[in-house]
């Protein structure tokens, strides 16, 4: 008799509370699974598709050109935003617009180099992309010696992002010394070969100043990952282009 009662209790249906907790657990599992799929599969794939079909990231050359078609500095950064937004973000990050390259500005930087005086808006030589020289040039001095500085040149592309804002493609490098060009013999700045370091530094400055809403890397942007610029300086890269989206005004 006792055995029949035990068997009856074992075969009896679960209580309402137990069934409710099972339904709750099932819902939680489904929601958790949905979150994992969305966060770790859907969103990364969606962003990858976005990058692949993003018109601003297609058909961009990998390297700028110096005078006479000599290869210049490699492109390694892109910013999405209006011209005013880009300028304001760089200024907030304490990067300053470079002076036009004139005889007066060249004499000024030469004097400051000899006297070891800071020149926040020292000129940069012109590089070319899509048949024209840079649209914007910004720099950040290092200490009081204009031999050392971070600088970046930007070209406005013809393409825009989904919101209609233009994309500015740039080459960020670090000047580590002044010397004679290996190709022309002219006095010039020599860049650090690690161009990725200044790419990352520029974006870090913008992020710390609150100028970027998001960033991402485009892998394998550079198929050839080393070379020499117009001054004969060697450079190398991990092949990635970093894209920063400027905070909308």
> Is the pLDDT at 200 greater than 60, yes or no?
yes
Confidence bin at 204 (pLDDT 50/70/90): very high
Sign of CA dihedral 143, 146, 147, 153: positive
Distances in Å between the Cα of 190 and the Cα atoms of 67, 174, 177, 181, 195 are 16, 8, 5, 8, 12
DSSP alpha helix (H) spans, the chain: 2-11, 16-37, 43-53, 83-92, 103-115, 195-208
Mean pLDDT taken over the chain: 77
- Percent pLDDT > 70 in the chain is 66
Task: Work out the burial of residue 225: count CB atoms within 10 Å of its CB; fewer than 13 is exposed, 13-18 middle, 19 or more buried.
Answer: middle
Q: In the prediction, which pLDDT does 20 show?
A: 79
Band (pLDDT 50/70/90 cuts) for residue 205 is: very high
Span 108-137, pLDDT tens digits: 445 455 445 444 445 567 899 999 999 999
Higher pLDDT residue, 232 or 97? 97
d(CA 107, CA 232): 23
Q: What is the mean pLDDT of residues 188-207?
A: 90
Q: What is the pLDDT of residues 58-71, one digit of tens each?
A: 568 899 998 778 88
Q: Which of 7-21, 118-132, 179-193, 208-222 has the highest mean pLDDT?
A: 208-222
Question: Residues of the chain with pLDDT > 90: what percent?
Answer: 42
Non-local CB neighbours of 100 within 8 Å, separated by 6+ positions:
123
- What pairs with residue 218 in β-bridges? 241
Name the pLDDT band for 142 (thresholds 50, 70, 90).
Answer: confident
Name the least confident of 54-58, 124-128, 145-149, 190-194.
Answer: 54-58
**Is it the case that residue 211 has pLDDT exceeding 80?**
yes
> Across residues 22-37, what is the average pLDDT?
73
């Amino acid at each position: 008799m006792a055995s029949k009662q035990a068997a009856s209790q074992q075969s009896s249906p679960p209580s309402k509370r137990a069934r409710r907790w099972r339904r709750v657990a099932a819902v939680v599992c489904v929601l958790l699974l949905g979150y994992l799929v969305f966060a770790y599969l859907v969103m990364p794939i969606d962003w990858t598709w976005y990058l692949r079909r993003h018109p601003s990231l297609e058909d961009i050359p990998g390297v700028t050109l110096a005078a006479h078609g000599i290869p210049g500095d490699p492109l390694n950064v892109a910013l999405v935003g209006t011209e005013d937004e880009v300028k304001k973000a760089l200024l907030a990050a304490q990067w300053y617009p470079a002076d036009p390259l004139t005889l007066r500005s060249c004499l000024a930087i030469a004097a400051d180099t000899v006297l070891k005086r800071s020149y926040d808006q020292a000129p940069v030589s012109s590089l070319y992309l899509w048949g024209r020289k840079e649209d914007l040039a910004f720099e950040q001095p290092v200490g009081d010696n204009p031999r050392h500085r971070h600088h970046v040149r930007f070209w406005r592309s013809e393409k825009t992002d989904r919101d209609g804002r233009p994309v500015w493609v740039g080459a960020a490098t670090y000047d580590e010394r002044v010397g004679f060009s290996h190709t022309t013999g002219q006095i010039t700045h020599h860049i650090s070969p690690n161009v990725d370091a200044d790419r990352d530094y520029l974006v870090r400055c913008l992020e710390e100043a609150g100028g970027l809403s998001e960033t991402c890397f485009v892998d394998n942007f550079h198929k050839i990952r080393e070379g020499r610029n117009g001054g004969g300086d060697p450079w190398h890269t991990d092949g990635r282009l970093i894209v920063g989206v400027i905070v909308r005004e």
